[in-house]
DNA sequence: TTGCAATATATGTAGAATCATATATGCATC
DNA sequence: GATGCATATATGATTCTACATATATTGCAA
């Protein structure tokens, strides 16, 4: 249940509406490690408000529809800090591509290579994206500190994509080397 | 929805009961990339049977409770092959640990290091586990081919754990270097 | 003026995942 | 005889996730 905590964390930057959370964060940076759709964000905000972890205030806009501005409360900040400091049991990540590769003996070499190359191309693009991504400049001390930790997660994304591209290249080379056989 | 296809794939090895699927595969090898609990496996088998992708037969046991042996059908094999050969859109993996690290500016240095070191220890153990893991010997041609692809996914696990340990070490070093500040 | 895009919030529904619990057999152990 | 464990299947309940759809405002372009 990290969506709850991701939202609480983002609200420590500044009070925000659900729309801003989505368009500024869940469509960009946070998307890499915790994607969430609009419906989920709005419902989680409602749940957080019901629990007293956030409070809301309607902001009237001239040129745009009114917003519900959410702020983190003291209780919300306590909950967040507690979660952040806790050692959580490792959660195994589900990876459909590994399922695909694991049973790839059922495919022809041509089919296997097609799937592997598509995957490699995807991760090459991601690698390119993260290698060219520049961290935003920070104005306050808090945000300077924030950018440091953002840098650590960016470093992870770069290492991960590099590893994936290398591994996929090795897979492609291996499959090309193996003798073609009955696919079963 | 890869649980469905993981089960279909495993049933290409041999007909199996839900219990065997769970204890022999989903508690071991498959667990690394597609963990599933017992309830889910049994319910997915029921759904697969309702769809005609698998068929079942009750096997009477003397010393143990009777089993429901599931076999993949022609329709199931077609569905599996189609899914295996398809290029699926990349699914972003949710990673709660990255959420934790991203907002770690709210913690003290001591708390951050504690969390990072626990994570590093976990992945060191996994690294050790995968580095010492030996692929099973294969008897038939099909299983020899299977072991090759199992080797590719094992290679992934090793590379991934190596990358994670290196990255976590770098994170720990970076945090130790940074000046201690107000945590906010 | 009609229609479209961006902004903004909300709900309905279905599927997937998790956790707990229920039932039953046979075996070993206390 | 009671207890616990491994084997074996099933269901109830809840949460999480995803996808679709509904509603409303403003600005802009065809």
Last residue of a domain, one of B34, B61, B85: B85
A59 falls in which pLDDT band (50, 70, 90)? confident
Residue whose pair of structure tokens reads 């003291």 in the numeric block: A74
Tell me which chain B residues have a C-beta less than 8 angstroms from the C-beta of A88.
96-97, 100
Distance CA B177, CA B106 (A): 17
Q: What is the mean pLDDT of residues A66-78?
A: 95
Residues A61 and A119 in one domain: no
Residues A172 and A101 in one domain: yes
Residue A130 covered by a domain = yes
Are B119 and A89 contacting, i.e. CB atoms less than 8 angstroms apart? no
Q: What is the mean pLDDT of residues A156-173?
A: 98
Tell me which chain B residues have a C-beta less than 8 angstroms from the C-beta of A171.
152, 155
Are A8 and A79 contacting, i.e. CB atoms less than 8 angstroms apart? yes
Residue contact A85–B107, C-beta within 8 A: yes
A182 falls in which pLDDT band (50, 70, 90)? low
How many domains are there within chain B?
2
Locate B42 and state its tokens: 């049994």
pLDDT of res. A101: 97
Are A41 and A21 contacting, i.e. CB atoms less than 8 angstroms apart? yes
pLDDT of res. A161: 97
Compute the C-alpha angle B49/B53/B59, nearest 5°.
Answer: 55
DSSP string for chain A: -HHHHHHHHHHTTS-B-HHHIIIIIITTGGGGT----HHHHHHHHHHHHHTTSEEEEEE--SSS--EEEEEE-HHHHHHHHHHHHS-PPPPPPP-HHHHHHHTGGGS-HHHHHHHHHHHHHHHHHHHHHHHH--PPP--SHHHHHHHHHHHHHHHHHHHHHHHHHHHHHHHHHHHHHSPP----
Q: What is the mean pLDDT of residues A82-97?
A: 93
* A153 at B interface, C-beta within 8 A: yes
Residues B116 and B166 in one domain: yes
Residues B79 and B116 in one domain: no
* B40 at A interface, C-beta within 8 A: no
Locate B56 and state its tokens: 């079942």
**Helix, strand, coil abundance in chain B, percent, nearest 5:** 65, 5, 30
Sign of CA dihedral A143, A147, A148, A150: positive
Residue A169 covered by a domain = yes
Residue A127 covered by a domain = yes
Phi, psi of B55, rounded to the nearest 5 degrees: -125, 155
Distance CA B56, CA A104 (A): 25
- A48 CA – D15 C1', rounded, Å: 15
Report the residue count for chain B: 184
Distance CA A51, CA A75 (A): 9
Residues B12 and B79 in one domain: yes
Tell me which chain B residues have a C-beta less than 8 angstroms from the C-beta of A180.
none
Residues A14 and A41 in one domain: yes
- B70 CA – D11 C1', rounded, Å: 20
Distance CA A148, CA A137 (A): 11
Compute the C-alpha angle B153/B159/B160, nearest 5°.
Answer: 85
Residues B66 and B113 in one domain: no
Q: What is the mean pLDDT of residues A157-162?
A: 98
Residue B20 covered by a domain = yes
Using C1' positions and the CA of A1, the closest nucleotide is D16
A65 against B12, higher pLDDT: B12
Residue A183 covered by a domain = no
Residue B147 covered by a domain = yes
Residues B7 and B81 in one domain: yes
pLDDT of res. B184: 67
pLDDT of res. A44: 97
A62 falls in which pLDDT band (50, 70, 90)? confident
* A155 at B interface, C-beta within 8 A: yes
Last residue of a domain, one of B59, B85, B111: B85
Mean per-residue pLDDT over chain A, rounded: 94
Distance CA A98, CA A103 (A): 9
Largest distance between two CA atoms of chain A: 68
Q: Quick one: what percent of chain A has pLDDT higher than 70? A: 98
Residue contact B184–A142, C-beta within 8 A: yes
Q: What is the CATH number of the domain that holds A69?
A: 1.10.10.10
A183 falls in which pLDDT band (50, 70, 90)? low
Distance CA A24, CA A4 (A): 17
Residues B120 and B159 in one domain: yes
CB within 8 Å of A9: residues ≥ 6 apart: A80, A84, B99, B102, B103, B106
Using C1' positions and the CA of A34, the closest nucleotide is D17
pLDDT of res. A184: 67
Residue A10 covered by a domain = yes
pLDDT of res. A126: 95
Q: Which nucleotides of D are covered by protein (CB under 7 A)?
A: 7-13, 15-21, 24-27
* B138 at A interface, C-beta within 8 A: no
Element (H, E) at B67: strand B67-72
Residue A182 covered by a domain = no
Residues A81 and A106 in one domain: no
Sign of CA dihedral A110, A115, A119, A122: positive
Tell me which chain A residues have a C-beta less than 8 angstroms from the C-beta of B107.
81, 84-85
pLDDT tens series, chain B, 184 aa: 799 999 999 999 999 999 999 999 999 889 999 999 999 999 999 999 999 999 999 987 777 788 999 999 999 999 999 999 999 998 888 999 999 999 999 999 999 999 999 999 999 999 999 999 999 888 899 899 999 999 999 999 999 999 999 999 999 999 999 988 766 6
Structural domain including B102 reads 96-177
Are B84 and A103 contacting, i.e. CB atoms less than 8 angstroms apart? yes
Residues B73 and B133 in one domain: no
Residues A30 and A59 in one domain: yes
């Amino acid at each position: 249940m990290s969506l709850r905590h991701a939202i609480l964390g983002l609200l420590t930057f500044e009070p925000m509406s659900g729309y801003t959370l989505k368009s500024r964060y869940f469509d960009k940076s946070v998307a890499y490690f915790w994607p969430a759709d609009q419906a989920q964000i709005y419902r989680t905000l409602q749940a957080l408000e019901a629990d007293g972890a956030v409070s809301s205030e309607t902001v009237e806009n001239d040129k745009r529809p009114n917003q519900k501005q959410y702020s983190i409360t003291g209780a919300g900040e306590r909950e967040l800090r507690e979660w952040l400091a806790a050692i959580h049991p490792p959660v195994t990540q589900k990876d459909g591509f590994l399922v695909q590769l694991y049973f790839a003996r059922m495919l022809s070499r041509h089919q296997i290579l097609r799937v592997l190359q598509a995957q490699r191309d995807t991760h090459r693009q991601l690698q390119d994206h993260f290698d060219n991504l520049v961290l935003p400049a920070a104005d306050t001390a808090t945000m300077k500190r924030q950018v440091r930790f953002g840098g650590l997660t960016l470093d992870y994304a770069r290492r991960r994509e590099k590893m994936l591209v290398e591994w996929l290249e090795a897979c492609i080379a291996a499959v090309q080397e193996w003798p073609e056989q009955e696919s079963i």
